[in-house]
Amino acid sequence: MNLLANAIDALEEVDERHWQTPQLAEPSLIGANYDQAVLPTQVTSFPPATAPTIRIRTQIIEGKRVQIAIADNGSGIPVNVRDRLFDPFYTTKPVGRGTGLGLYISFQIIDKHKGTLKCISEPNQGTEFIIDIPITKVDA
């Protein structure tokens, strides 16, 4: 959840300079089966290449791991910030908006499940966080 909230924040920072935040899905689709839901692929009032976008992708890898990727087309994260993203109490948000614990806690939770959390980002190219977690059989 924190990763998605951060992606929204990143787009709102860019959005405040250029656009209004678009609504991409009808509220009735929230909670719908993703195989049945048809979501808009672009905001019609913006060119597709520049419209603020968040992409969420899931896949099963070799039947053993689930991968969840959350990507945005925001301004990206500089290398010096990426190096500290998962440090406790590190934030780039203004006072009162961030505690610096969200990504740290996300990393800890994923790590406890024997998973990985990585960040891929280039300035002016957006950011992608990839969660990779092993699939375990749950006995009833």
Rounded Cα–Cα distance for residues 91 and 102 (Å) = 9
The pLDDT of residue 14: 57
- How many Cβ atoms from other residues are within 10 Å of residue 52's Cβ? 23
Task: Map residue 72 onto helix, strand or coil.
Answer: strand
pLDDT of residue 127: 93
**Average pLDDT per 10 consecutive residues for the chain, totaling 140 residues:** 65 54 47 42 44 91 93 91 90 82 92 94 91 80
Q: With contact defined as beta carbons under 8 Å apart, do 132 and 59 qualify?
A: no
Q: How much is the pLDDT for 92?
A: 83
Residue 136's pLDDT is 82
| pLDDT given at position 124 | 86
Q: Report domain extents, the chain.
A: 2-134
pLDDT at 22 (0 to 100): 44
Neighbours of 39 (CB within 10 A): 10
Sequence-distant (≥ 6) Cβ neighbours of residue 137 within 8 angstroms: none
> pTM value?
0.66
10 Å CB burial of residue 113 (0-12, 13-18, 19+) is exposed
The pLDDT, as a whole number, for residue 52 is: 87
CATH placement of domain 2-134 = 3.30.565.10
Sheet holding 54-61, edge to edge: 54-61, 65-72, 126-134, 116-122
